[in-house]
Amino acid sequence: MRSGIQGKSAIIIANELLTQFGGVKGIFEADKEELMGIEGLGEAKVAQIKAVHALAEEYLREKMKSVSKVRTSKEVFDYLYLTMRDLKKEIFKVIYLDSANQIIDNENLFEGTLNASSVYPREIVKSAVHKNAASLIFVHNHPSGDPTPSESDKAITEDLVYACNLVQIKVLDHIIIGDNRYFGFADEGLIEEYNRNFVSIKERRG
C-alpha cells in the first residue's frame, strides 16, 4: 500500500481491504473492479496486489517441481492449496511423475464446470506420453469449499484410470481441494477399486 493517500494511511487501507474481503484469501480472489472499490486503491496498487498473487503461485509451482518424491496426498494438498483454494472456476490439474515418483511437470488442462464431457482422457494420455510420464496425479478444486466428490467426479476418475491403464501409465491419485480440507481418491481406496474393475473387465474379454 506504500504510504497510503492523504487522510488515510497504508495501514488503514490494508485493514479496510482485510475487512471488506474477509482476509488475504478474499483479497486474492477479488477481481480488479472489486478491489478498486476501496478508496485509495488505484490501478497501480491493484496491479501490485495481483502481481504478488501471481508471484506466489509461480513460487509454489517451482517449489513443487523441486520435490524429490511425492509420498502422500497431504503433501500435494499442502503445495497446491494456496494457489487453488481461491479459484472461482473449477480447474483440473495434472501432475506428471517419472518412474521414481519425482515430479516432471504439472499443468492445468481443463477449466469450468467439470463433467465427463469436459475432461478428455485422450488429451491427458497424449500429454502424459509426450512428457514420458510413468504415473499421474489429478487435482481439481471445488469452489464451494466442500471437497466431497460428485458422481461425475467419480465417473471421470474411473474413466481416466481405465484410459491410462491401456497405455501402461499409473494413476496414483485424484485429489479434490476444498476450503482447508481435501478428498483423496487413493486414500479412500477408490483408485485401487477402479484398477480392479479394469482388470476384471479385461479378463472377461479374454
pTM: 0.72
Rounded to an integer, what distance in angstroms lies between the CA atom of residue 15 and that of residue 42? Answer: 16
**Banded pLDDT at 66 (limits 50, 70, 90):** low
Q: Name every residue whose Cβ is closer than 8 Å to that of residue 36 and which is 6 or more positions away in sequence.
A: 42, 43, 46
Q: Where are the domains of the chain?
A: 10-57, 69-205
Q: Which helix (H) or strand (E) holds 36?
A: none
Residues 81/82/85/88 CA torsion (nearest 10 deg): -140
H/E segment holding residue 203: helix 190-205
CB pairs under 8 A, 24+ apart, for 59-63? 61/106
Give, to the nearest 10 degrees, the angle between helix 73-84 and helix 43-65.
170
Q: What is the mean pLDDT of residues 106-131?
A: 85
pLDDT in the model for residue 19: 74
- Using only C-alpha atoms, the chain has a radius of gyration, in whole angstroms, of 20
Share of the chain above pLDDT 70, in %: 75
The mean per-residue pLDDT over the stretch 133-137 comes to: 96
Q: Closest Cα partner for 66 from 147, 58, 21?
A: 58
> Is residue 40 very low, low, confident or very high in pLDDT (cuts 50, 70, 90)?
low
Q: Name which CATH class applies to 69-205.
A: alpha beta
What's the pLDDT score for residue 48?
73
Give the separation between CA 160 and CA 124, rounded to whole angstroms: 8
Residues in the chain: 206
Residues 6+ apart with CB under 8 A from 107: 93, 94, 127
pLDDT in tens, 144-188: 899 999 999 999 999 999 999 999 999 999 999 998 899 999 999
| pLDDT, position 106 | 87
Q: How far apart are the first and last CA of the chain?
A: 67
- Partner residues linked to 111 by β-bridges: 91
Model pLDDT, residue 10: 65
